[in-house]
Amino acid sequence: MAPIDLPFTLAEYTRRLTNVRAEMARRGLDVLFVEDPSNIAWLTGYDGWSFYVHQGVIVTHEHDPFWWGRRQDSNGALRTVWMSSDHVLSYADHFVQSTERHPMQDLAGHLLDMSLGRARIGVEMDNYYFSAKAYTSLVAALPDADILDATALVNWQRGVKSEAEIDYMRRAARISERLVDLARERIEPGLPKNMLVADIMAEAIRGNGEDWGDYAAIVPLLPSGTDAAAPHLTWDGRPFRKGEATFFELSGCYHRYHAPFCRTVFLGEPPETIKRAEAALVEGLEAGLAAARPGNRACDVANALAAPLEKAGIERGARCGYPIGLSYPPDWGERTISFRAEDETLLEAGMTFHFMPGLWMKDWGLEITESIVIREDGPAECLCDRPRELFVKP
Amino acid sequence: MAPIDLPFTLAEYTRRLTNVRAEMARRGLDVLFVEDPSNIAWLTGYDGWSFYVHQGVIVTHEHDPFWWGRRQDSNGALRTVWMSSDHVLSYADHFVQSTERHPMQDLAGHLLDMSLGRARIGVEMDNYYFSAKAYTSLVAALPDADILDATALVNWQRGVKSEAEIDYMRRAARISERLVDLARERIEPGLPKNMLVADIMAEAIRGNGEDWGDYAAIVPLLPSGTDAAAPHLTWDGRPFRKGEATFFELSGCYHRYHAPFCRTVFLGEPPETIKRAEAALVEGLEAGLAAARPGNRACDVANALAAPLEKAGIERGARCGYPIGLSYPPDWGERTISFRAEDETLLEAGMTFHFMPGLWMKDWGLEITESIVIREDGPAECLCDRPRELFVKP
């Protein structure tokens, strides 16, 4: 077996674990069971498309974490995690999608073996992919334990990025720029949409020189015309048409780190409505970037964005940003902070966000967004470097 | 807004709904809440990458189903579902990833408005993406209701495919064949793996002539050499090497229908171990295909496969097949039947499976698989048509 090629130093994994344990201690948790694939990877290095079955990491205060999953995937764990092989636990295949038994019964057995049957155990009640049945099965199998909600406990520790993580995101951003450049260059009336998506997907995975591209946690989204009112439609084989705006919501991915980036291309002469919206949106983005600095709150960014939009008569009604970094499908967000009026979380240097004030109106859509890093001082740094405007192809 | 271009006839959606309601009645359910995106699409036509937030379909006995989800995604629902616009319900954005409120509280409000507060409500306890917190929030918000486990209720109704569905799968299979052909043709020592993945992804989305390609529910898996011991590793930028086997686990996707297809390519002269395994595996596949017919059970296929493998000293320990069809990430399986010794489900004409006896041994892997349709009589039909063998490039 080849030596394990970890994406980060052991010191970085140790620091992550220390922070997670400190938060566990603060909440009085003896054990944390982590099923969110992004959290698993961030804590252990595990990387594989096996999150469609139950798997996770057992974090305690005493021992290195234990990877736990399906037996056939333990081979992948042995090849990707920093812990020694006796910290890779697995369950037999007859637990997989069975109506008679549940993998959580196997997990409970391991916890009992570790004398944790009466422990206070945190679980991710609302992260991917810890199901309702996983919860009720674990509760039933550990009647003397306290099973407590630790949703996003790890996600919150991921908020402030290390230099190494920001380096990965910068590399992802170089790929994101290439994708937006390619989309802008190749889109034209008559081109079937899937043909452009094919080119974008290939470019994303070719990557940027030595930096090979990984799969993004969300496929390219690029609705056109009236369909751009709907933010999450994917593609079909119909051609692009003159007189329509298409927004491109794309992200390069490097070692599972993302830098989402959206631009909109109008084929033909954009109507005044869209030009006015563009002007207000760019003004709002600039105000938001200026507000995105340490000591300010998440809502300050949202409010800064909202002012010029409101002046232009545009009410969004949706949050306008979320933290980003390491992720797996189905979402590249970290699901902690939201840029919205009710979120008073203080911003800190090293936090990274997709500042994402998409406009999804009744019969058109416009996306101009930036992936950003909160700096020590001054306005936020944008990871991608492309004109902040509606691209027009006459 | 353009007229809705449904992938199936209204008659087909009506038949699906009738079958689901019959099973609900059998279990005494007044309501079924469906969160699995594959089940949502199968029942309503809804198609969008929005399953990273809570959304679903409310099925009752009296009314057309209700699509329910995030407000910004209701625009996508209005563009993709067959129900009228008053059957599209949505929740405000402050429910999204909030620590104060949960979308299930909004869902409960709708159910109460429909006078279903004391109903017997089925939920998908172990499908994607109904979380533990979704369950406990719904239970808390509907104290007088009976919330019951209806995991895979809809999935079981999906097992026997209509002619229209099988037609989509045949179209997906033409794409799958192109992907395997391309992989076999372009793989060579020195080619960085991500470069081949880029070509495969692009080909998948270009599709086959008029049949535009959709994203598969799983990214291409193609581990090489000793890494092929691990079935779910994805790619990196390292080159293919002479003397190594690489298996390709790929699927074309047409209107969300899949036809997974795996072949293995050896660069150089394969060792005797792998050639012996190939011979036993092909013999097992042929025995399994012969056993895959109406009246036989799922375990009969598994046992037919196992005999020649055991004779060759190979014990797999994992199931060797699962139903396929319409799917969204993270899995293209239907999660009902498994081809394994303990599954006695009777096979029926029109069922479709990925017959998937992957060999993941200590330091090598071999995948030769077939997507199949159970026929009225005779052995199963293979959706793809390529030699059932290890491909060798000397």
Contact call for A202 and B207, based on CB within 8 A: no
pLDDT tens figures, B45-94: 999 999 999 999 999 999 999 999 999 999 999 999 999 999 999 999 99
Contact call for B131 and A133, based on CB within 8 A: no
Q: Is the pLDDT of residue B1 over 60?
A: no
CA-CA distance, B12 to B75, in Å (whole number)? 24
Contact call for A93 and B319, based on CB within 8 A: yes
Q: Does residue A304 contact residue A285 with C-beta atoms inside 8 Å?
A: no
With CA atoms as reference, report the closest residue to B94 among A330, A345, A320: A320
Q: Is the pLDDT of residue B253 over 70?
A: yes
pLDDT tens figures, A124-161: 999 999 999 999 999 999 999 999 999 999 999 999 99
At residue B3, the pLDDT reads: 64
Cβ of residue B140 closer than 8 Å to a chain A Cβ? no
Token pair in block for residue A57: 């990491």
Q: How many CB pairs under 8 A join A and B?
A: 238
Could you give the dihedral angle defined by the CA atoms of residues A385, A388, A390 and B1, in that order, rounded to the nearest 10 degrees? 90
Exposed/middle/buried for residue A295 (C-beta within 10 Å: 0-12, 13-18, 19+): exposed
Residue of B nearest to A99 (CA): B336
Can you say whether residue A335 is alpha, beta or left, with left for phi > 0 and alpha for psi between -120 and 50 degrees? left
Token pair in block for residue B326: 């319409």
pLDDT tens figures, B256-265: 999 999 999 9
pLDDT tens figures, B161-170: 999 999 999 9
Task: Provide the percentage of residues in chain B whose pLDDT is more than 70.
Answer: 99
For residue A317, the chain B residues in CB contact (below 8 A) are 71, 92-93
Token pair in block for residue A32: 């944390």
Cβ of residue A8 closer than 8 Å to a chain B Cβ? no
If DSSP codes are grouped into helix, strand and coil, which group holds residue B94? helix
Query: Chain A: nearest CA to B333, how far in angstroms?
Result: 10
Query: Chain B: nearest CA to A315, how far in angstroms?
Result: 13
With CA atoms as reference, report the closest residue to B23 among B188, B208, B131, B154: B154
Query: Chain B: nearest CA to A290, how far in angstroms?
Result: 24
Query: Chain B: nearest CA to A224, how far in angstroms?
Result: 12
Task: Find the mean pLDDT for residues B127-145.
Answer: 98
Task: Find the mean pLDDT for residues B216-236.
Answer: 93
Task: Provide the percentage of residues in chain A whose pLDDT is more than 90.
Answer: 94
Q: How confident is the model at residue B2 (pLDDT cuts 50, 70, 90)?
A: low
Q: Is the pLDDT of residue A249 over 80?
A: yes
Task: Find the mean pLDDT for residues A15-25.
Answer: 98
Contact call for B125 and A102, based on CB within 8 A: no
At residue B302, the pLDDT reads: 97
Cβ of residue A135 closer than 8 Å to a chain B Cβ? yes
Mutate to test the interface with A, among B205, B238, B244 (most CBs of A within 10 A): B205
ipTM score assigned to the predicted complex: 0.96
DSSP code string of A199-226: HHHHHHHH-BTTBPPPPPSS--B--BGG
Query: Chain A: nearest CA to B151, how far in angstroms?
Result: 9
Contact call for B330 and A329, based on CB within 8 A: yes
Q: Which residues contact A173 (CB under 8 A, 6 or more apart)?
A: A252, A259, A261, A371, A383, A384
With CA atoms as reference, report the closest residue to B246 among B390, B370, B354: B390
The DSSP element (H or E) to which B393 belongs, if any, is strand B391-393
For residue A140, the chain B residues in CB contact (below 8 A) are none
Q: Is the pLDDT of residue B175 over 70?
A: yes
> Domains, chain B, ranges and CATH?
10-157 (3.40.350.10), 163-393 (3.90.230.10)
Exposed/middle/buried for residue A206 (C-beta within 10 Å: 0-12, 13-18, 19+): buried
What rounded mean pLDDT belongs to chain B? 96
Task: Find the mean pLDDT for residues B9-14.
Answer: 98
At residue A317, the pLDDT reads: 82
Mutate to test the interface with B, among A53, A97, A130, A241 (most CBs of B within 10 A): A97
Task: Find the mean pLDDT for residues A76-81.
Answer: 95
Cβ of residue B194 closer than 8 Å to a chain A Cβ? yes
Query: Chain A: nearest CA to B152, how far in angstroms?
Result: 10
Contact call for A237 and B149, based on CB within 8 A: no
pLDDT tens figures, B324-368: 999 999 999 999 999 999 999 999 999 999 999 999 888 889 999
At residue A31, the pLDDT reads: 98
Contact call for B132 and A135, based on CB within 8 A: yes
DSSP state of B215: P
Q: How confident is the model at residue B195 (pLDDT cuts 50, 70, 90)?
A: very high
CB atoms under 10 Å from CB of A341, counted, come to: 15
Give ∠ CA B342-B262-B267 in degrees, rounded to 5: 130
Cβ of residue B209 closer than 8 Å to a chain A Cβ? no
| Count of H-run helices and E-run strands, chain B | 10, 15
Task: Find the mean pLDDT for residues B5-23.
Answer: 97
Task: Find the mean pLDDT for residues A87-102.
Answer: 93
Token pair in block for residue B391: 């491909």
Q: How confident is the model at residue A228 (pLDDT cuts 50, 70, 90)?
A: confident
Q: Does residue A170 contact residue A383 with C-beta atoms inside 8 Å?
A: yes
With CA atoms as reference, report the closest residue to A23 among A123, A161, A159, A154: A154
CA-CA distance, B65 to B57, in Å (whole number)? 6
Q: Is the pLDDT of residue A100 over 90?
A: no
Cβ of residue A186 closer than 8 Å to a chain B Cβ? no
- Per this entry, what is the length of chain A? 394
CA-CA distance, B39 to B17, in Å (whole number)? 11
The DSSP element (H or E) to which A202 belongs, if any, is helix A193-206
Q: Is the pLDDT of residue A2 over 60?
A: no
If DSSP codes are grouped into helix, strand and coil, which group holds residue B62? coil
Report CA B116 to chain centroid distance, whole Å: 32
Q: Is the pLDDT of residue A1 over 80?
A: no
Q: How confident is the model at residue A270 (pLDDT cuts 50, 70, 90)?
A: very high
Q: Is the pLDDT of residue A92 over 60?
A: yes
Q: Is the pLDDT of residue A243 over 60?
A: yes
At residue A62, the pLDDT reads: 96
For residue B197, the chain A residues in CB contact (below 8 A) are 205
Nearest beta carbon to residue A194 from set B125, B136, B205? B205
